[in-house]
Structure 1
Amino acid sequence: MNTPGGTTTNIADGAATVGVQAQTVHAVNFYEIFSGDSPQRKFEVGLRYLRGGVPPKARELIGEAVADGYVTSQSCFYLLLALLSGRTLQQVPKEDLATLCLAQGWKVGGADEWTRAIRVISRLLTSLQKGDLDPQAVEEELNRLGQVQRDEIQQNLEMFLNGSIQDGLWTRAFESARKDRCDRRRLDRIWMFFQPAPAHARVRMPSPVATTIGDWGRSIGTTALSLAAVCFVGVLAWQRAWLSTLPALVLFGAGCHMCYRYGVAWRFLIERRRAKDRDQTATRPEPVVSPGGFAAGIDRQFDDYFARYVPRNTDRAQWLTHTAGIRQTLRDEVVEIYREERVDAKQVAWLIRHLVGDVKQRWEKGTLWDYRDRLRASPSTKGLFMLGAAATATGGAMMIWAGLHVRPLHAAAATVVAVAAGRVSVLGWLRIVLERRRHAAESEDARRSLARRTAAYERWTAKLADKPSDLEMAHWLDCDRKALMEEAMRHYNLKPSDVVAHAFIEAPGRYYKRARVRKGPWRYSRYRLLIFLLTADGVRQMTADLDLLKVSFHDKGRINYRYDAVASVHVTEADNGGRTFELTLVNGDPIKVEMIDALQAVIEPGEDPRSVSQVTLDAAGLGNTLHVLEGVAAEGKEWIGHERKREEDGLAALADAVQGVLPRYE
């Protein structure tokens, strides 16, 4: 809105309350420089920084590469762009011009696309210096360049080209932004950038077989004692009547075999079912966890996915109540198997989704509790065990009865020893056998579970294989910024040539996700964009919330103010690391935007938090914005005339440097 007269209204519409939903660092060597890297490698990384919207780092690395001897027409072209990108002419120090001048002197001859592009820039700068710029001629020269060179010039020289040439270049830039804004399947792919590299599939391994040497010794000893007592009774019975003792021995031996075979199987199924029941239904006290720790993150994800993945035709409360035990068992396993590693909770989100989805699927199929039927002993198993027990009892009774007739006291004593030692022996062997079977069964379950989880991991990894690069993220964000700038110009009925200078701020929006490539700037899923258009009449400011994932603007706001209404502009740095941009007008509260929040988490080993913050601020356009708005705050409307004079001086020095003339130091 325009406010006539001497009153200016200040609206603090740039303030943003930020909240982090997720944050990710992609540990790839996209922006990494290692000791011993060649100048060519430095140039390549510097070029990535330039295309990623971080000109200061690009200037540093490309300048080092050229100074170290990597001098080609391409490196000189990009060095020139890096020196100009993201800042006005008077921001270019003479030291940078000297580097460019020396590079021009070293450059080998030739007439390739890069050399022609440098000549176009040189003629453009010379024309700007002399004031005889012909926009149509510039347009024709640009059109004769290759697509790459033309796009790079258009992208990086937007800050200082002014006058009628702006109309053609900005028209081209806006058309390109509209075309590229959703290219490369942005809507289908951009969400992947905020997904961390998934942690590999793991399972909880079964606990080792819990039998000791003492268990084995006790079982073997009692078995030997019991067998000796049985044999003694059998010998007495044989002396009494061998004809009746023979079938008793056969009956006793066959019965013992059947009891072992079917009794162990029955008992194993009972134990397995009880263990499954404990996992499925038993709830334990809630563990005490650190609010910001790994376990707390796992808890939130399990709560979130179980609340979201409700089976069809099922009441949410019923679903959550009946799966409480399963939820806690799965939660405990995930925390246990990943806690000791350097793993972020978000890196196992794929596993939690897989586990919850599997529970939901089994619920819908009615197979969530089918283990109870699977682990129920069959009637034949129970019957054969009972038959074996009866046979053992019958054969034993027959032998004891016969032995009592020969030596009553000895037979009775041997019977007591056989029963007592036999009981201890049976319990000991039962524990040993069940433990071995438990371990084998749990190992097989773990193997199958790992196979299913590995398949889910591979599916998720394959889905993330098309993750956008940091350069694509920077390009899409630049297209969004240009779209908002075009809308602001259309609203204010401005031509690009009406804009003396422009500046922008990109700050995190509300409730964002954030991610970055190692050594690169943070990229956010939601932004608060501020566009400043400086005209002869004053400043036109437009703000908007950008949903980067949906490619949409929300909560737009506009404010106009005169140059003399700007009281101050600066960035405050809090003790906790937060950075806030403040634009204060003479009659109101400051317009504040939190550019770097206080959360400095996810800093990789070997990284400096201050460097990460600075790279992020550079990508957000803070340097040029402060230069422009601080000049307005200090000089008022006279800033325009002073800026033009400074540009003339800067153009002369830059034109000389491009032509290989060293700048003069005063």
Structure 2
Amino acid sequence: MKDQKPAPKDEKDSDATFSNADGTVGAQGVFNDEVTIYVAGPDDPPEQRLRVAKNYLAALLPSQAQELLTSVIAERYCQGEAAYYWMLAILSGKALADLDEEGRYRFRSAWKQVEQSDDHWLAAAKVIKDLIVLLQDPQGDAAGTARMDQVLASFEDLPEERREEIRRHLDTLFTTGLRRQLEHIRAERIRGQRLGNERKRRVPKFFEPVPYPPQSTLSPRPTLHPAQAVVASVAILMGATGALWGESLSLRHGGTGPVLTVSALVCAALLGWLAPVRFPIRFSPWQEDPATKTSDKMRAAVKRVFERVRRNASDGESTEGWSAATRAVQTVLTREYASVYGSPKVPPGGVDYLIKRHAQNAWKRFRDGKLNTRPREATWFDCAAVALAVIALGTVIRLLLVEPTLAAGPIGLTFCAGLILPASHGDVFLIRLLHRSRERVMAAQRLLVEKELYVKRLEELADRPDDTEMARWLDDDKHYFRTLVLKQYGMDSEDVIADAVLTEPAPGARRSRVRRGPWRYSSYRMWIYLLTNSGVRQIAVHLDFASGTLSNQERTAFRYDSVASASIIEIGICFDEDRRAVLPPSQRKRRPPASIPDTEVKEKSDGKPDTEENETPKSTSNTNVAPVMLQLFRLMLVNRERFTVTVEQLAEVDETVGDDVTYLRRLALDDSGVSSALRILEQVAAEGSDWVRHAQMRAQQIIL
């Protein structure tokens, strides 16, 4: 893989458009509200809060776990177990130098709590405590080696589940000999398990929408507004009067009135029966237009599924005319499904599997050349309409010839009735009544078919990976990426003073999350920062999450005194026809402050702050919220070169399901690794070439 150095961007360009317009990152996303592994309130029993805290830790979200564990310990529930996991949460992903005074105090409190228990949790906690003591007083002599061997022996005596937890959460604490020995074990495990458990087949299912149970598509019984009913009744009366009057005139002069009457009635019956086929939109069972917002969302869903079916099924075949050919089908389906599934309870994409059936049927007909072909029923309708018109015209001419004075009455009444009845939607009402029993039978048959589809869809998604498994795979990918980079540079773990791995959604990635969980993406852009004695190495790579494939590596190296600033910035993003644009400040709504404040270390080489003129938007965490917020982590070098990692969330959807937006913003920062990277790179920006010496001094702090 070839080293690449990103060129500085034009100062008027915006990083807000990192993901391309064709991608699904941004306004698109699947939300699984049925999964509640991260849901626990202050009033829930302690066992529920402890279980959720363990789920947070399994997903490598220690900050959220700490809050719950603190409340569990305060109630003295499962004291040893809760205190052990509290110790893990406090140290997870941190080096000793990262622990502030409060963190050290909490760790000591957690150790005192678990020390009072006398079970297997104490043994696991003691390994963590001994590891901290060893790191605080490293010795290179035989005594130090013996102490390390003793800690490793105690570690190996733990159950595999405890060993894996300690390896995952305390990886950044392992140094020199400890890391060398433990990393080899973990690297072997990752090589064997990173792509296991049918990852490639199962990961795409995580991004599939939760299917919503099918509902009956039988429309409400047809009704007319009282005013429309009066007008329609008058029109029917006028038409009947005109027809009978005209028939009497015809019989008076000995014509073929009965024959024409029977023919006209047959044609009218055919027109009534075939009208829904000829004019499907006008005579749709769903006459009332749903709310505009609901209709727009369903229209977008129908269009998306139809386009996906076309793209997946075309296989090189010509698809010219597909949109025009399916326009009527999509319109009817949109109105119907927006009326049936317009409830807020239906999750986004919840009826995609039902729409897909109609799209596949449409594709089959399109491929066979039948979708553009007029149905036979429509042809029969036109023939009946022509026949009725001929009969009516012949009758009118005959009446005008034999009774020119009296003929104007029945002709005028019948003509006016023909205009007034459609205007009052009386024709729709009558034809709907005519087809009501047929609609009832078809709706029942359709519901049976869709229920079978629903059961089949649930079976297909039965082995969907849960969020903690997705987190574990991503963590393994990060470790694999780090190991691969170290091999490429010919470095050992002890050559690295500190490191940070960041993730961001790749352009075009699909995304999904569970309730109170972070967004997971189908593909990532992964960044790693390796801080060594000689400087900083930055490597970026594309990760296809399902296959675990790494590609398109870019590498950059710079000295510590080359770092000008590290910052977190928020920008409001609006969507217009799938294109993204930065919202001006005047259009942004107020947002409560985030728990983790936006930070910006000012540039120190030339004394110029990173302002709007220097391409850095003002921090907005305390001033705005837009329907979509784009969070940026930006590293700026003194030569004006910058590197940006994006973190996005959809505030509008999150708020509707009751998840706190501030919580989700903090969650996104923690899960992406931005929080830990910011902590390290801020220090580098502030301390420059003195960072190595200061980092070594910070690592000597006493915790126990």
Q: CA 1:627 to 1:373, structure 2 compared with 1: closer, same or farther past 3 Å?
A: closer
Q: Write the distance in 1 (CA, Å) between the matches of 2:63 and 2:375.
A: 63
Q: Write the distance in 2 (CA, Å) between the matches of 1:268 and 1:635.
A: 89
User: Any idea what the Cα deviations from partners look like across 1:480-501, whole Å, max 9, x if unmatched?
Assistant: 1112111110100111122111
What amino acid does structure 2 have at the position aligned with 1:334? Answer: Y
Pair 1:481-2:482 in alignment: no
User: Any idea what the Cα deviations from partners look like across 1:299-340, whole Å, max 9, x if unmatched?
Assistant: 641551464366799742255444443333333333443346
Match of 1:243 in 2: none
Pair 1:554-2:567 in alignment: no
Q: Write the distance in 2 (CA, Å) between the matches of 1:502 and 1:61.
A: 28
Is the partner of 1:549 in helix, strand or coil? Answer: coil
Match of 2:452 in 1: 455
What amino acid does structure 1 have at the position aligned with 2:277? Answer: K
Q: Write the distance in 1 (CA, Å) between the matches of 2:149 and 2:2.
A: 35
Q: Write the distance in 1 (CA, Å) between the matches of 2:687 and 2:235.
A: 96
Q: CA 1:217 to 1:365, structure 2 compared with 1: closer, same or farther past 3 Å?
A: same
Equivalent residues in 2 for 1:130-141 (5 A)?
130-131=137-138, 132-134=144-146, 135-141=148-154
What amino acid does structure 2 have at the position aligned with 1:53? Answer: L
CA drift of 1:111 comes to 5.3
Equivalent residues in 2 for 1:101-120 (5 A)?
101-107=108-114, 112-120=119-127
The counterpart of 1:544, out of the listed 533, 541, 545, is 541
Is the partner of 1:189 in helix, strand or coil? Answer: helix
CA drift of 1:297 comes to 1.8
Match of 1:603 in 2: 654
Pair 1:169-2:177 in alignment: no
Is the partner of 2:700 in helix, strand or coil? Answer: helix
CA contact (8 A) 2:2 2:554 kept: no
Q: CA 1:139 to 1:521, structure 2 compared with 1: closer, same or farther past 3 Å?
A: same
Q: Write the distance in 1 (CA, Å) between the matches of 2:95 and 2:466.
A: 28
TM-score, normalized by length of structure 2?
0.71
CA drift of 1:206 comes to 5.8
Q: CA 1:297 to 1:647, structure 2 compared with 1: closer, same or farther past 3 Å?
A: same
Match of 1:276 in 2: 277
The counterpart of 2:525, out of the listed 521, 525, 528, is 528
Pair 1:372-2:423 in alignment: no
Q: CA 1:309 to 1:324, structure 2 compared with 1: closer, same or farther past 3 Å?
A: farther
What amino acid does structure 1 have at the position aligned with 2:633? Answer: F
Match of 1:464 in 2: 461
Size of the alignment, in residue pairs? 591
Pair 1:197-2:210 in alignment: yes
Moved more, 317-326 or 617-626: 317-326
Pair 1:188-2:201 in alignment: yes
Pair 1:444-2:405 in alignment: no
Match of 1:490 in 2: 487
What amino acid does structure 1 have at the position aligned with 2:682? Answer: E
TM-score, normalized by length of structure 1?
0.75
Match of 2:94 in 1: 87
User: Any idea what the Cα deviations from partners look like across 1:35-65, whole Å, max 9, x if unmatched?
Assistant: 4112222222111111112111112211221
Moved more, 69-78 or 162-171: 69-78
Q: Write the distance in 1 (CA, Å) between the matches of 2:345 and 2:37.
A: 22
Match of 1:579 in 2: 631
CA drift of 1:367 comes to 7.3
CA contact (8 A) 2:502 2:672 kept: yes
Query: 5+ unaligned residues in a row in structure 2: which ranges?
Result: 139-143, 245-257, 285-289, 382-409, 422-426, 572-619, 621-625
Q: Write the distance in 2 (CA, Å) between the matches of 1:91 and 1:76.
A: 20
Q: Write the distance in 2 (CA, Å) between the matches of 1:174 and 1:432.
A: 71
Match of 1:406 in 2: none
Q: Write the distance in 1 (CA, Å) between the matches of 2:428 and 2:166.
A: 79
The counterpart of 1:327, out of the listed 330, 333, 342, is 330
CA drift of 1:138 comes to 3.6
CA drift of 1:280 comes to 8.8
Pair 1:626-2:678 in alignment: yes
Q: Kindly indicate which of the two structures has a greater share of residues assigned to helix.
A: 1
Q: CA 1:362 to 1:167, structure 2 compared with 1: closer, same or farther past 3 Å?
A: same
Query: 5+ unaligned residues in a row in structure 1: which ranges?
Result: 228-254, 378-418, 657-666
Identity over aligned residues, as a percent?
A: 25
CA contact (8 A) 2:631 2:648 kept: yes
CA drift of 1:363 comes to 5.1
- Name the structure, 1 or 2, with higher relative contact order (CA <8 Å, separation 6+): 1
What amino acid does structure 1 have at the position aligned with 2:41? Answer: F
Q: Write the distance in 1 (CA, Å) between the matches of 2:484 and 2:45.
A: 44
- Coordinate RMSD, CA, aligned: 4.9
CA contact (8 A) 2:79 2:114 kept: yes
Q: Write the distance in 1 (CA, Å) between the matches of 2:56 and 2:328.
A: 50
Q: CA 1:144 to 1:302, structure 2 compared with 1: closer, same or farther past 3 Å?
A: closer
User: Any idea what the Cα deviations from partners look like across 1:375-418, whole Å, max 9, x if unmatched?
Assistant: 979xxxxxxxxxxxxxxxxxxxxxxxxxxxxxxxxxxxxxxxxx
Q: Write the distance in 1 (CA, Å) between the matches of 2:537 and 2:317.
A: 54
CA drift of 1:431 comes to 11
The counterpart of 1:155, out of the listed 168, 185, 192, is 168
What amino acid does structure 2 have at the position aligned with 1:502? Answer: D
CA drift of 1:290 comes to 7.7
User: Any idea what the Cα deviations from partners look like across 1:332-361, whole Å, max 9, x if unmatched?
Assistant: 333443346465653332222111112233
Match of 1:121 in 2: 128
Q: Write the distance in 2 (CA, Å) between the matches of 1:509 and 1:274.
A: 50
What amino acid does structure 2 have at the position aligned with 1:372? Answer: R
